[in-house]
Every structure is written in structure tokens, then in C-alpha cells.
Amino acid sequence: MARNSRYDILFDPVKIGPVTAPNRFYQTPHAIGTGHQMPHTDAAMREVRAEGGWGVVNTGYCSIHPSSDDSPLLPSRLWDDDDVREHALVVDAIHRHDSLAGIELYHGGSSCANRSTRITPISASGISINSTYPGWISLTQSRSMDHKDIADMRSWHVDAARRAKSAGFDIVYIYAGMSFGPYQFLLPWLNKRTDEYGGSLKNRVRLMREILEEMKEAIGDTCAVAIRFSSDDLLKIKGESMASEAHEIVSMLSDLPDLWDIKSSDWTVETASARFVGEGGQESWNSFAKPLTTKPVVGVGRFTSPDEMVRQIRGGILDLIGAARPSIADPFLPKKIDEGREDEIRECIGCNICVSCYHDSVPVRCTQNPTAGEEWRRNWHPERIPLGDSKKKILVVGSGPAGLECSRVLGQRGFSVTLAEKKKELGGRIIRESGLPGLASWIRVRDYRTSLIKTMPNIDIYLDSPMSSEDINQSDYDQIVIATGSRWSTDILSDSGYPITGFQSNRIFTPDQILNGATLLEPVVIYDFDHYYMGGCLAELLRERHKEITLVTPANAVSAWTSMNNESWRIRGRMIELDIKLLLEHYLIGMDESHLQLTSIYSDSEITTIEAGSLIIVGVRTSEDTLYKELIARSEFSEHSGVSNIKSIGDCVAPGTIAHAVYSGHEHGRNIDKQTSDIRYQVERPSLHL
């Protein structure tokens, strides 16, 4: 199909110093959990973005010196010439598709604990940051940089820039944001110096200016020199002659860098989930910059809508559409817009499963795109799948995230597929969960798949069609896939999985019953030991219905796991905003007609009693695997059955996140015609050269 003409502006080339981006689609620098240890995984993941039409593809943050060691997290690095080879592999992969390759040079200053190198962290004035951030707390404070340290930091940037140039990069960044090294000099509460690098704004900007100038002198003939700059802190400081110090800094440096990449200083803000922030959520922090420079400006905003992208360009906000999460969810987003297939975009749902992988120090995963992180390891491509045998007939029972993804993959491969759903609508758990506060974008998991499935003539869909083992046993399908999901349980378990008994009441409910419209007596108590979104979302939902809510959890935070996807502090704030009572670090141990008995996790002798009209248990889910077990039992004695393989997938195997279910469905769809012994995984292996 032809491109919609209203999106033509997105495909204009953009000059960035000595290089030119072929379009305005800009995959901004972001870590993918590969570091320098997994160059093939990194190269394959970046290459698929270039193939998908991103005009610029950047690597993640790249450490320039051992004094910027972010272990156990996984930045890439350019500490010496030996590191160049790994980056050249990535650059070559990006260049194969005529995209520009960029690299973000990074010195963390006092934000790096240097846990592996054991070098004392350095900072502008010996003031450390992230001192209260769990998991990142360093028990070593930073030391104040002297003039030799400042000269060293300048030379480390220049040396790394030269190495980046030799690796073939087209765009080389200085990272002056997120409280990292050069940025710490800009902030008056972190920079207490009295020399030429402290005091006035001009002095505080000096280090950043010097690094930019020296990098341009070293590599600016062929490489663009970009700056990544956090603005939100500085926008709060009134400038001497302009609205803020952020305005003054961009104005002072204006056309010195070849590109301005404007972002927030807190990555929990920058990567805000869709539950709390919509598309274009960074506009208040990056819209000020473009009038102050003639150089192109890029920013992010979890952009998935081409109409919003056009608005950003025509509105004079951005020159380039920056993206990290949307490029993970759909590496082919630009190409789909270019080919008039914008309705096929696999839109990011903003769940931040990808962010949690960074905290886990593993390659990025994605709810929408199950091939993310598997491009090299398993040779999975997000758009191409080997064809299967079109004569094979496959029945998929259940249309939740696993069943839908499996059906989509099987349909794309050319199999004859029947999708049977017992309810009147496709989607399974997604339908109800996307109705929870803030989770509306999650419906995209269903909509992307159903929109494609309905265009495939080799897929027959049967709604309102419950299937029994007898029905299936009498069918002539070659393979059966059971994707019947899971259900929430009222079981209460201790941290060690030991069952807590004695809870029998018609006033105990599961999330399923609440979402099905159960009538509740107040006050309502939610006991949450699932620790993800469900407990907090139900509390918010019921509070919006004017219910009196108390949320109890044995964890030390509401929805404790969400510290992994950067939602935790926002969830706690929402609970406070809605006046939802919280009782943390308590176990549920008993219940009578009107009260619950709780005990502190620290002492079982401290008993607390609270009033409860209804109790909602948000804890464990149980696989709905009865049909699967019946089929397995039948297949053992039914010789006339044509079934050669029966497989359960998704929550039917083991309840997990929607990302787990989609991955399970995708994996089985790809490998349905393979023996387990045929499946291969490539493994990155360290080099032993010295």
C-alpha cells in the first residue's frame, strides 16, 4: 500500500552535523541488558531496528573509563582499543540497512559505585547521589574532583570518541543528564566548587562546553557530536535573563553540538508506564529547546501514533521522533507507516516489562514483541517466520494472550487453524484487565493480534464455543493447543509457600469475582501477596466506586515488585492521593464474622485486628488445565484419535505475566513442527585473549 501523504514529513532527511539521517525516526540510546558481554545479541537487536526503518539506531549507555563502572548493571564500554571490535560488530549490522549508528558516551560520576573496579567514585564536589535508591545505594561516598580529574574526564571522553569513530559510528554523544558526571557540574546543589568550574552558570557549564569542543575537534569532521541533556531540574531554576537555567544552557551552547537530545533527569519519570503517563509525556521538558538552537532536537514520549509524531514535528517541538520502548515493541514501526500499514503497528502498551529486564541485568524482553532479545540467540525475526505445512490442521482452544499469539504465528506460517473460544469475545484475561484503572493500553495486546488473525483466510474463529475432551477426541485435527488460561485462587500462602488455613467465608473474594461484579460489604480489605499490579489496581478501582479500602501486604511496599518496572513510587503516591489505607509488613492469620487478625512479619506475638466486611485475596493463580489433563488421559487409550500432539501453553502451563503468555504462544507457534531436540540456542562466549 502507498504511504498516507499526511505522514510524508516523517520521512524527510535530517542533517545532523556532517551526516544525514534518512528520516525522522530516531531510536534513542537505551540499554538492552547486553553490555559488552553479549555483542552478537546487541548487534542483532539493533540491526532489526535498522531493517525496520529507524533512520538512526543508537547503542545503550557506554562507559568510557573504569571509574564509571555500573556493575552489576550492564552498560557497554569503550575503556580501551580492544573494546572497539565489539562495537564495530554493532555498527556494521546497523549500516547494512543504511541507517546511522550512534553511541552514547557515559561517565556516571558519583552515580557509579564502581563495585567491580573498586575505584573511588568522583563528583563535582564530593556529593553523592542515589544514596537513598534501594539496590543502587553505595556504601562508599564520592570524592571531589581536582583539576587533574577534570582534565582526565575531558580526555576520557575524547579518547572514547576517537575509538567510537574508529568503530564506524556516525553520531557520538556526551551524556550530560540523569545526574551523571558532566550533569552534576550543572546543578548548584551538587556543584559547590569555588574555582572556574563552579559558582556562576557559565562556570558550571564550562566542563560540558570543553568536552563538546574537544570531541568536535577530534572527530567532528566525519562524526556528529550530540549531547543528551536533562532539563527538568534546571527548568525549575529561574535564569538570570531567561525563563530558566535550562533555557540559558541551551542558548549558551546553542549550535555547538550537532544535535540536542532532551530528556528528564529521572529515568523512572522518563520511562513512566502507561498506567500513569500518556503518549508525549515528556513534552513539558523538551518543548522549550527548539527555538533556542538551529540544530535538530530529538525527544521521547512513548510515541506509537503517527499522527502524534506529525504533531510534534509540525508544532515545532521536535525535529526527530525519539523512541526506545516503541522501537522494542515494533522494530518495523517506521516501515509500516512508510508502506501504509500503520494499522499493523505492534504498539507499545507501556507496561515496562522491558524496564524490569534492565534491573534484572538480562536482555530486554517485551510483552508485545516476544522476539525481543531472541533475534540472535534463537534466530527469531519479528516479522518473518518460516512457512509450515498448509495441510496440517491445528486446533487452538482459548483466545487469551497465549492462544491469540499462537494462532497468529500459526496462521502466518500457513497452517490451517481453528481458534475456539468459549466466550463471546476474543481476548481472555486481557479484556477484563485492560478495564482496570490506567491499563487501557493493554487492550493493544488483543487488538494487534485479532486484527491480523481476521485477515488470514486459513484461520477460522468460533466464538461462544466451549470444547470438551469428547468433542476434541472425535475431531480430526493434527495437533491440539490448549490455552485455557488460569483463575485467581483464595488460597493464602506464607512466604515459603506453606498454606494458611481456616479461611472459609462467603465474604472472601478473588479478583475474578470482583471484575465479574461481585457485591461487596464494607469496609473492604485487600490482602496482596502477588505484589504486581492487581492489588493496587483493585484498590484504586474500588476506591473510585467510593468503597472504604485497606490494602494489607507482607511486603514493605505496595505492589512491591513494581520497583522493577519503575511504577512503585507512583503507585504509592496514588494510594495516598485516594486515601487508601495501607498496612505493610503484616501477615493475614485469621478471620471472624467482622474482623481480620494480622501479625507483624517481624513478630508473631504482635496481633493487629481490623474491621472487614469483605476480603479480597490477591495471591496465586491456578492453571485452568482440566481440559488438557483430560485430553492427555484420553490420548493414552484412544487409538482412533487423530491427535499426534497435545500441548498446553501460557497460563494453562504456569500462570505468569501477559508477557510470559505471549512468549509461550509464540514459541509453540514457531516450534510446533519441531522436536525438542531440534531446538538450538546460540550462546555468547567470552574471549580468552589477554
Phi, psi of 225 (to 5 degrees): -110, 115
Question: By residue range, what is the domain housing residue 402?
Answer: 393-487+622-674
Q: Assign 644 a pLDDT band (cuts: 50, 70, 90).
A: low
pLDDT single digits (tens) 414-444: 999 999 999 999 999 999 999 999 999 999 9
In a domain, 604, yes or no: yes
Same domain, 147 and 269: yes
SS3 of residue 23 by DSSP: coil
Question: Taking a C-beta distance cutoff of 8 angstroms, is the pair 657, 429 a contact?
Answer: no
Torsion, Cα of 317, 318, 324, 329 (10° steps): 80
Q: What cell numbers appear for 434 in the block?
A: 485492560
Say which CATH number the domain at 503 has: 3.50.50.60
Phi, psi of 233 (to 5 degrees): -60, -45
Same domain, 481 and 501: no
Same domain, 473 and 540: no
Same domain, 226 and 320: yes
Say which CATH number the domain at 13 has: 3.20.20.70
Averaged pLDDT for residues 176-203: 95
Averaged pLDDT for residues 476-498: 92
Same domain, 453 and 583: no
The pLDDT assigned to 642 comes to 47
Q: What cell numbers appear for 65 in the block?
A: 573509563
Same domain, 534 and 480: no
Same domain, 318 and 407: no
Structural domain total, the chain? 3
Query: How many whole angstroms separate alpha carbon 16 and alpha carbon 291?
Result: 17
Question: Taking a C-beta distance cutoff of 8 angstroms, is the pair 550, 581 a contact?
Answer: yes
In a domain, 216, yes or no: yes
For the range 634-637, what are the long-range contacts, defined as Cβ-Cβ under 8 Å and sequence gap of 24 or more?
634/469, 634/473, 635/473
Averaged pLDDT for residues 495-516: 89
In a domain, 679, yes or no: no
Averaged pLDDT for residues 287-314: 97
Same domain, 661 and 589: no
Query: How many whole angstroms separate alpha carbon 619 and alpha carbon 636?
Result: 35
Q: Where are the beta strands (DSSP E) in 28-98?
A: 56-63, 76-77
The pLDDT assigned to 133 comes to 53
pLDDT single digits (tens) 222-238: 999 999 999 999 999 99
Q: What is the pTM (predicted TM-score) of this model?
A: 0.95
Same domain, 211 and 305: yes
DSSP β-ladder status, 614-618 and 621-623: unpaired
Say which CATH number the domain at 401 has: 3.40.50.720
Query: How many whole angstroms separate alpha carbon 90 and alpha carbon 163?
Result: 14
Q: How many CB atoms lie within 10 A of CB 40?
A: 19
Q: How many CB atoms lie within 10 A of CB 218?
A: 17
In a domain, 380, yes or no: no
The pLDDT assigned to 135 comes to 60
Q: Where are the beta strands (DSSP E) in 586-635?
A: 586-591, 595-600, 603-611, 614-618, 621-623
Question: pLDDT at residue 526 above 50?
Answer: yes
Question: Taking a C-beta distance cutoff of 8 angstroms, is the pair 440, 432 a contact?
Answer: no
In a domain, 369, yes or no: no
Same domain, 43 and 125: yes
In a domain, 370, yes or no: no
In a domain, 24, yes or no: yes
Query: How many whole angstroms separate alpha carbon 354 and alpha carbon 397?
Result: 29
* Range of weakest confidence among 45-59, 378-392, 564-578, 642-656: 642-656
Question: Taking a C-beta distance cutoff of 8 angstroms, is the pair 674, 378 a contact?
Answer: no
Query: How many whole angstroms separate alpha carbon 63 and alpha carbon 61?
Result: 7
Same domain, 449 and 535: no
**Who's near 461: CB < 8 A, 6+ residues apart?**
419, 421, 426, 453, 454
Query: How many whole angstroms separate alpha carbon 664 and alpha carbon 483?
Result: 10
Average pLDDT, the chain: 94
pLDDT single digits (tens) 69-88: 988 888 899 999 999 999 99
Query: How many whole angstroms separate alpha carbon 215 and alpha carbon 104?
Result: 13
The pLDDT assigned to 689 comes to 61
Last residue of a domain, one of 604, 619, 634: 619
The full length of the chain comes to: 690
In a domain, 157, yes or no: yes
Question: pLDDT at residue 132 above 50?
Answer: no
Q: Assign 202 a pLDDT band (cuts: 50, 70, 90).
A: very high
The pLDDT assigned to 129 comes to 81
Q: How many CB atoms lie within 10 A of CB 257?
A: 27
- How large is the C-alpha radius of gyration of the chain? 27
Averaged pLDDT for residues 648-655: 97
Q: What cell numbers appear for 686 in the block?
A: 567470552
The pLDDT assigned to 505 comes to 86
Question: Taking a C-beta distance cutoff of 8 angstroms, is the pair 328, 367 a contact?
Answer: no
Same domain, 569 and 453: no
Q: What cell numbers appear for 323 in the block?
A: 523512541
Question: pLDDT at residue 445 above 50?
Answer: yes
Q: What cell numbers appear for 266 in the block?
A: 529521572
